[in-house]
Amino acid sequence: MDLPKDDFILKMEGINKSFANVQVLSNCRFDLKRGEVHALMGENGAGKSTLVKILTGIYHMDAGKIIYKGRSVNYKNTREAQGDGIQIVHQELNLMNHLTVGQNVFIGREGSGLFLHDAAANKKTREILSRFKLNISPEEKVGSLTVGKQQMIEIAKVISQKSDVIVFDEPTAALTDTEIDELFDVIAGLRDEGAAIIYISHRMDEVKRITDRVTVLRDGEYIGTRISKDVDISEIIQMMVGRTIYEKPKNVSAVPEGAEAVLEVKDLRSSLIKGLSFQLKKGEILGFAGLMGAGRTESARLIFGADKRTGGEILLHGKPVSIKSPYDAVKLGIGYLSEDRKRYGLAVGLSVAANMVMTSLNLFMKGIFIDDGKIHNTAAQYIDKIGIKTPSPRQMLMNLSGGNQQKVVIAKWLIRDCEILIFDEPTRGIDVGAKSEIYKLMNELAAAGKSIIMISSELPELLRMSDRILVMCEGRHTGTLDISEASQEKIMALATAAS
């Protein structure tokens, strides 16, 4: 039975969708009230993104109905949905790096009235960015911005258009705590103005903080809807994964006393990094903490040879090495999982298997020929080992959810059998169940003698996984904490201790 039109702006009922004979959504449902923030939650592959892509005309449903503003709709494309007041902020960035911030915000609307000239677009862009308290010039090229700032530009692009329904797909994955606070203020303002918000997130604390209701999907099916303020986080997790997940916090380093320093960095320097020195021990998970702009990712890229350093020395097993490019780093047994997997870690137009072996093709050669059977079998093993949700190793990577794409990147470096792994935001955009699997995998790798640098913006994650935590602020190393003494308060004190 349809609910009263004045209470609900949207109802989706009996939604079915399959890809290549794989059922992704089965009799799925979702409804949205006017002026509410409604969380849509579930593990990676649960069907969340597919459901909102059907709503916004990216995909077409096989069966079901969508009632929007009291009438039946079935959009042929995103332009139709946008014209009807439905917008989506995608998890994956969809910006033109060679264009300016202002041009990106108003791209596609340059020839209509006010937005004919860049000057007018830049003026409006400044007004929108001021809502985020972002000090970014509309004339700056998007490609020069950090991932977090690019995410804010993606959000600003959507907010610049008058919308009745806005879908936020993992909007905080790349944001700092300060930026998240500012985003939540904007979302609250949109809600107060009457907009209806669909909020997709894997962060449990955000559900209680910003949403009014929460709907959970599992394996493409509707599980249930709860009032956010009345539901326990443990119940939401159990609805999502169908099991209880418990993560035991780490309070003692698992690294044996006297363990060898497999990597040593001495006085590493660049235009942003100001003399970083540290050691990474065999079997250690060394967390890198700091606010956005602290230099964590920049340090990792210098070590991996992706950026040019102006000074410093890198030693492996006590011996100086020359790393002038990522090729050099990989040859020396160093793997790097980038925070921006779409830009640096994946070829979305290739298959899952092809992505997994792209850094290890020499292991799959028979003379001058590639052993496709060995590639397929190896990929299948890692799909099972890491829990990647895909119907086949031959599946195109672009058809996987964001979290499963992240797992493919991890598998790529595991197949390469790297001795040192740099994981930059390894669980960004990954649900609670998949996070648990990644944490378990990282601990297994460390126990097997692999050494891991883990960059994370989530303090609970750093405290759960790290043996030691190195803290940076404005390109400087401000302190290192053993996990036995580390706390969120101590980390934040060091993260704001620029000298």
Go through 316-332 and write b for each residue having 16 or more CB atoms within 10 A of its CB, e for each that does not. Answer: beeeeeebeebeebbeb
Distance of CA 356 to the CA centre of its chain: 19
H or E stretch at 492: helix 488-495
Distance of CA 194 to the CA centre of its chain: 29
- Identify which of 338, 409, 422 has the alpha carbon closest to the alpha carbon of residue 146: 338
End-to-end CA distance of the chain: 64
- Each residue's pLDDT tens digit in the chain (499 positions)? 343 445 899 999 999 999 877 789 999 999 999 999 999 998 767 889 899 999 999 999 999 999 999 999 999 999 899 899 999 887 667 788 888 888 888 876 655 554 446 788 888 888 888 876 777 888 899 888 877 788 788 888 888 887 899 999 888 876 777 778 888 888 888 898 889 999 998 777 888 899 999 999 988 999 999 999 999 888 887 888 776 555 667 889 999 989 999 999 999 999 999 999 999 999 999 999 997 778 999 999 999 999 999 999 999 999 999 999 999 999 999 999 887 666 656 787 889 999 999 888 888 888 888 889 999 999 999 998 878 888 889 999 888 877 788 888 888 888 888 899 999 988 876 777 777 878 888 998 999 999 999 999 888 889 999 999 999 998 999 999 999 999 888 998 898 875 4
Q: What residue spans define the domains of the chain?
A: 8-241, 261-495
Please calculate the CA angle 418-423-429 and round it to the nearest 5 degrees.
Answer: 135
Q: Can you tell me the distance from the alpha carbon of 81 to that of 73, in angstroms, rounded to the nearest whole number?
A: 9
Q: Can you tell me the distance from the alpha carbon of 119 to that of 410, in angstroms, rounded to the nearest whole number?
A: 44
Q: How far is CA 59 from CA 25, 62, 214, 237, 301, in A?
A: 12, 10, 23, 28, 37
The number of beta carbons lying within 10 Å of the beta carbon of residue 145 is: 17
- What pLDDT sits at residue 110? 57
- What pLDDT sits at residue 74? 94
Q: Can you tell me the distance from the alpha carbon of 175 to that of 350, in angstroms, rounded to the nearest whole number?
A: 29
- Cα atoms found within 13 Å of the Cα of residue 201, Cβ hemisphere only: 25
Please provide the DSSP assignment of 154-167 as one string.
Answer: HHHHHHTS--SEEE
| 261-495 matches 8-241 in CATH topology | yes
The phi, psi pair for 130, rounded to 5°, reads: -65, -25
Three-state DSSP state, 282: coil
Residue 281 β-bridge partners: 261
26 burial (CB, 10 Å; 0-12 / 13-18 / 19+) is middle
Please say whether the beta carbons of 39 and 28 come within 8 A.
no
- What pLDDT sits at residue 109? 66
Fold classification of 8-241 is Rossmann fold (3.40.50)
Pick one of 3.40.50.300, 3.20.20.80, 3.20.20.370, 2.40.30.20 as the CATH number of 261-495: 3.40.50.300
- What pLDDT sits at residue 6? 52
Q: Can you tell me the distance from the alpha carbon of 404 to that of 35, in angstroms, rounded to the nearest whole number?
A: 33
Residue 117 β-bridge partners: none
The phi, psi pair for 301, rounded to 5°, reads: -65, -35
The number of beta carbons lying within 10 Å of the beta carbon of residue 350 is: 14
Residue 80 β-bridge partners: none
